[in-house]
Amino acid sequence: MKIVTVVGARPQFIKAAAVSRVFAGRQDCAEVMIHTGQHFDANMSDVFFQELEIPKPAYHLGVGGGTHGQNTGRMIEGIESVLLEQRPDALLVYGDTDSTLAGALAAVKLHVPVVHVEAGLRSFNLRMPEEINRRLTDHVSSLLLTPNEQGIRNLAAEGICGAQVINVGDVMYDAALHFGITAEQTSSILEQLHLAPSAYWLATIHRQENTDDRLRLQRIFDGLGRAAATVVLPLHPRTRKRIADMAVQVPGNVRIIEPLGYIDMVMLEKHAALIVTDSGGVQKEAYFHRVPCLTLRDETEWVELLDMGWNRLAAPMSEGFLDAFELSYSKGSEDHQPYGSGQASLAVIKAILTLAQGN
């Protein structure tokens, strides 16, 4: 069978690395990858494909830099053209980006079954573009592969249930296990930055709700300034531009560095004392590496990490936000593993093959 996979952003490259490795080892599956170009900077894209040993995409659409509507429309047009040429048995999308939605819409209108990996996640905040993308993608998908039981419950509440909904576990956990070992063996980022393990905080800031509001973004940096440790911040290009354009003041303890490849980022995550982020993927990676996390959002789709004590929410405009950076953070519960056993990629392939046999 032939599968067309659509990726466009860093978290999708990581997920695809885990699943594509399984595809490559099989004779009964052929994968054709489309890179939309949503993350087009070399540090945001090319280095990931090299480090994660993902095959070079067969198609690169070069879409990026525009508004959500501009990007999504251009992606749909480009993906549709590839689907008409390739005639795949199914289209595979990951997560909740504009690339995800564009792939799903292009495929469903051509009657190509859509497989959504990381289905069923909900933040219940429709101001987030990601929430809109994930909801719409779920409602046009033929196979919905959730990373946890909460995803099953969320989909059932929207009337999506049955054999097409499967909890396969989290493919990012597969990647974390595999590349965590690689990072320890090959990364020298701690030495390059002169960092001692557990002596620094690691931060990421990229979500539109945080970067496009000057007051909110300044509050985040004010909070980071209260940290007793050095805060290492690999800076997303959009965030860097917003800081300059809006004259946001960056505290002296915040050490801004260029975006990192995945292996170096994993190494920094594994050895941080605390991770501060607005990224859904980094929240999970913090847990995978058993590092406490402070999330710079009003809500999170990973509610189980809140329940287990590994993650705490810090809403930037809340009254106690700044105090959150002066608290002591300890590790959470180890009572259960909500994201599977690290074999999610195999479960994804099995589910896709079952879908193909039923059509």
Active site residues: 206
> Residues 6 or more apart from 107 whose CB is under 8 A from it?
4, 79, 83, 91, 113, 114
**How far is residue 329 from each of residues 219, 227, 291, 311, measured CA to CA in Å?**
20, 12, 9, 9
The DSSP bridge partners found for residue 145 are: 117, 166
**Displacement of CA 271 from its chain's centroid (Å):** 20
Helix axes 129-140, 98-109, angle to 10 degrees: 20
**How far is residue 158 from each of residues 62, 139, 170, 239, 297, measured CA to CA in Å?**
35, 9, 22, 34, 24
Helix axes 280-288, 171-186, angle to 10 degrees: 60
Cα 339 to Cα 281: distance, rounded to the nearest angstrom: 13
Handedness of CA 16, 18, 24, 27 (dihedral sign): negative
Strands 30-35, 2-7: pairing is parallel
Cα 340 to Cα 336: distance, rounded to the nearest angstrom: 10
Q: Which amino acid is at 280?
A: G
Burial of 167 (0-12, 13-18, 19+ CB in 10 A): buried
